[in-house]
Structure 1
Amino acid sequence: MTKTSAQQNTAPRRLPSADDILQGNRAALARAITLVESRRSDHRQEAQTLLRQLMPHTGKAIRVGVTGVPGVGKSTTINSLGAMLTEKGHKVAVLAVDPSSTHSGGAILGDKTRMDRLATNDNAFIRPSPSAGTLGGVAAKTREAMLLCEAAGYDVILIETVGVGQSETSVANLTDFFLVLMLAGAGDELQGIKKGIIELADMIAVNKADEKGNQDAAAAEYRSALRILSPASTQWKPPVVTISGLTGAGLEELWHHIEKHHEIMTAAGELSTKRQKQDIRWMWAMVEERIQERIAENIAAKERIPDIENALTSGQISPMAGAEEIFKLLNI
């Protein structure tokens, strides 16, 4: 006897269990990420319970952020790098943050289409997520998704950012290694410094070495630029390499640098310290997110905020006074 649509809609929703995740169940992992991305309060509680159970099984992966302007070849490079790593026995998770649809807020780019070699690889997991307007193109729940992937046994996490010129501090603050992809002959070779991206880099890779261009000259320019910048750590001098994400040329050297960085930072105790600081930033980011949600859910606050903003712009109140009024509306 077939169930009616009403009966199907009232069927209990199966939550992903910690055991499912730990056993590497890909379907359960996908459901768990959907759970942590949900804004529903009941889903939030369920997600926190799941994460608490899984936290002891996280933290063992190498976390790599990959950024660069659109067209630099991020997806192509990740596709080739991820395939190379799975051949070496690694399990690779790719969290690809897409520009959000202005209407639905959903991911609109087809990462699984662009990363064909990984999409059909049993040792790879690709998850496109909407950026939802978050600074630096990092989805609001990327951190939680990263922890879930680690608990599922993925030992390399690659996070691809939108790369639209926004501050990239967000991705640098949730990864161990920040890889910046650059193109040769795309205008001012040092343009990235003006955006503050270069000084965040743990390595610069000049991509598309398979094409005719000035890759070596561009690499030399970046090496010169890095000499005048203060490195984030005295333990590590960011290298500059030339690669081809399309052919895979230079990716062995690129991965060697990432592994070496991980070994050096772990031995020096800097990786542990860095992750502890990231956790603090993560906590405050969640506090800010929750405040924004409370404002959105508070009808009185939503109605009053335009008046507060008008009073501020007309000079009737100070920013501090305006903030105090909002806090009172939220009972903070």
Structure 2
Amino acid sequence: MAENKRIRLKKQDIEIPLDQFIVGIKNGDRATLAKAITLIESNHPDHFHAGQQLLKEIIPFTGKSVRIGITGVPGAGKSTFIDRFGTELCRLGKKVAVLAIDPSSTMTGGSILGDKTRMESLSREDNAFIRPSPSSGTLGGVHRKTRESILLCEAAGFDVILVETVGVGQSEVVVRTMVDMFLMLTITGAGDDLQGMKKGIMELVDGIIVTKADGANKDFARKTKNEYNQILHYLVPATDGWETKAYTCSSLTGEGIVELWHVVNEFVNKAKRTGVFLERRKKQTSDWLLTSIAEKLQQSFFQHEQIKSILPTMKRDVEIGNIPVSSAVEQLMNIYLTNNCHKE
């Protein structure tokens, strides 16, 4: 057991022993889990080190969940889908955690989406946990904090972890690096927009879900599904040994929702049999290490006092052609490395 260090969380204005965090998480206590995620999301140096100690203690209890990334075109109804999908999984006896990567307020850096109000049914389930995670405008922050939140949720016994992202763009690439299966939601009539959709995004996903397949829209949904399947047939699958396909569902009626869970199980079982599942997890962890090193070095570089002093002048010299970019980089790196070596 870890040293019984007490951690002060400023927002709650309380102190909690570290071993109390560990016991609470292992017991699946959602209030403790929420506080633990607040701890690892904090940028305060003391909180960072305490959070890392907590993660070290709970690592042996992680890795047993299915991690699913969910993205979608605007209007596809991601939150409505997650609400219905997650609720059905809870009724099947699964424990479901939702980590929502939200856009952040440029003024406060806080989440501007109310996920618990958008997922009313799921939020009432005893076996569900919903956590919006403000990105504060930095994908790197999302990369670390969401990964660590996943580990905490796994240690708390959650079987399925849904990572919801926003829009279609760079955040999707980041989420792909932290989940086992990646799903994209779309709507009927999207066939008209396929020419404008980035091929790279479609090659990231393991399944495309055409939502709102109910009522008069049902036939249109099937048509859209077939259009996607025609295109997917010619694309390289995101996961070796798995054929990416399009499916339909209705979050309103529930039709197709449980069937999608069967697809997820088929994907996981096949990936585990072929070894792809474990290899992906290993590669994601090693890539996380390398990305974290790069982010740490970048942060250290730009916070370096001499670099901050000389960089504006160097930028002007590069802009007007007084010095080649590569030469400027070499000079800046020499200043940074020499100063750091002298510190040693």
TM over 0.5: yes
* TM-score w.r.t. length of structure 1: 0.90
Partner of residue 134, structure 2: 130
Alignment length (residue pairs): 324
Q: Which one of the candidate residues 48, 52, 56 is aligned to 2:60?
A: 56
Q: Which one of the candidate residues 270, 275, 293 is aligned to 2:281?
A: 275
Q: What is the CA–CA distance in structure 2 between the aligned matches of 1:249 and 1:301, rounded to whole Å?
A: 58
Further displaced range: 304-313 or 186-195: 186-195
Q: Which structure 2 residues correspond to residues 46-85 of structure 1 after superposition, within 5 A?
A: 46-85=50-89
How much has 1:294 moved relative to structure 2?
Answer: 2.5
- Residues 1:112 and 2:116 are matched in the alignment: yes
Further displaced range: 312-321 or 118-127: 312-321
- Residues 1:201 and 2:199 are matched in the alignment: no
Partner of residue 151, structure 2: 147
Partner of residue 14, structure 1: 16
Q: What is the CA–CA distance in structure 1 between the aligned matches of 2:142 and 2:201, rounded to whole Å?
A: 15
Q: What is the CA–CA distance in structure 2 between the aligned matches of 1:27 and 1:41, rounded to whole Å?
A: 23
How much has 1:164 moved relative to structure 2?
Answer: 4.3
Please tell me whether the aligned partners of residues 189 and 221 of structure 1 are also in contact (alpha carbons under 8 angstroms). no
Further displaced range: 190-199 or 82-91: 190-199
Partner of residue 41, structure 1: 45
The AA in structure 2 aligned to 1:35 is L
Please tell me whether the aligned partners of residues 190 and 225 of structure 1 are also in contact (alpha carbons under 8 angstroms). no
Instruction: Check 1:147–1:199 CA distance in 2 against 1; reply closer, same or farther (3 A cut).
Output: same
Please tell me whether the aligned partners of residues 136 and 166 of structure 1 are also in contact (alpha carbons under 8 angstroms). no
Further displaced range: 28-37 or 16-25: 16-25
Partner of residue 96, structure 2: 92
How much has 1:117 moved relative to structure 2?
Answer: 0.9
Instruction: Check 1:127–1:192 CA distance in 2 against 1; reply closer, same or farther (3 A cut).
Output: farther
Partner of residue 234, structure 2: 228
Please tell me whether the aligned partners of residues 136 and 169 of structure 1 are also in contact (alpha carbons under 8 angstroms). no
Deviations 1:60-90 (A, max 9, x none): 0000000012221000000000000000110
Deviations 1:37-74 (A, max 9, x none): 11122211111111111111101000000001222100
Please tell me whether the aligned partners of residues 136 and 161 of structure 1 are also in contact (alpha carbons under 8 angstroms). no
Q: What is the CA–CA distance in structure 1 between the aligned matches of 2:272 and 2:72, rounded to whole Å?
A: 26
Partner-residue secondary structure (3-state), 1:13: strand
- Residues 1:157 and 2:161 are matched in the alignment: yes
Q: Which one of the candidate residues 253, 261, 264 is aligned to 2:259?
A: 253
- Residues 1:289 and 2:291 are matched in the alignment: no
Give the structure with the larger helix fraction.
2
Consecutive unaligned residues of structure 2, counting only runs of 5 or more, are 1-9
Deviations 1:95-139 (A, max 9, x none): 011101001111110000000112121100000011222349945
Instruction: Check 1:129–1:259 CA distance in 2 against 1; reply closer, same or farther (3 A cut).
Output: same
Partner-residue secondary structure (3-state), 1:14: strand
Deviations 1:20-41 (A, max 9, x none): 2111121111111111111122
Instruction: Check 1:167–1:18 CA distance in 2 against 1; reply closer, same or farther (3 A cut).
Output: closer
* TM-score w.r.t. length of structure 2: 0.87
Q: What is the CA–CA distance in structure 2 between the aligned matches of 1:187 and 1:311, rounded to whole Å?
A: 49
Please tell me whether the aligned partners of residues 95 and 160 of structure 2 are also in contact (alpha carbons under 8 angstroms). yes
- Residues 1:244 and 2:250 are matched in the alignment: yes
Q: What is the CA–CA distance in structure 1 between the aligned matches of 2:195 and 2:251, rounded to whole Å?
A: 22
The AA in structure 2 aligned to 1:177 is M
- Residues 1:303 and 2:321 are matched in the alignment: no
Q: What is the CA–CA distance in structure 2 between the aligned matches of 1:138 and 1:192, rounded to whole Å?
A: 27
Partner of residue 323, structure 1: 329
Instruction: Check 1:12–1:249 CA distance in 2 against 1; reply closer, same or farther (3 A cut).
Output: closer
Further displaced range: 289-298 or 216-225: 289-298
Q: What is the CA–CA distance in structure 2 between the aligned matches of 1:104 and 1:275, rounded to whole Å?
A: 34
Partner-residue secondary structure (3-state), 1:175: coil
Instruction: Check 1:15–1:94 CA distance in 2 against 1; reply closer, same or farther (3 A cut).
Output: farther
The AA in structure 1 aligned to 2:254 is G
Please tell me whether the aligned partners of residues 192 and 198 of structure 1 are also in contact (alpha carbons under 8 angstroms). no
Deviations 1:244-278 (A, max 9, x none): 12332211111111111000101111111001110
How much has 1:212 moved relative to structure 2?
Answer: 3.4
Q: What is the CA–CA distance in structure 2 between the aligned matches of 1:40 and 1:315, rounded to whole Å?
A: 41
Partner-residue secondary structure (3-state), 1:212: helix
Partner of residue 5, structure 2: none
The AA in structure 1 aligned to 2:109 is G
How much has 1:318 moved relative to structure 2?
Answer: 3.5
Deviations 1:153-194 (A, max 9, x none): 001000000124445211111000000111112463424752
The percentage of aligned residue pairs carrying the same residue is 47
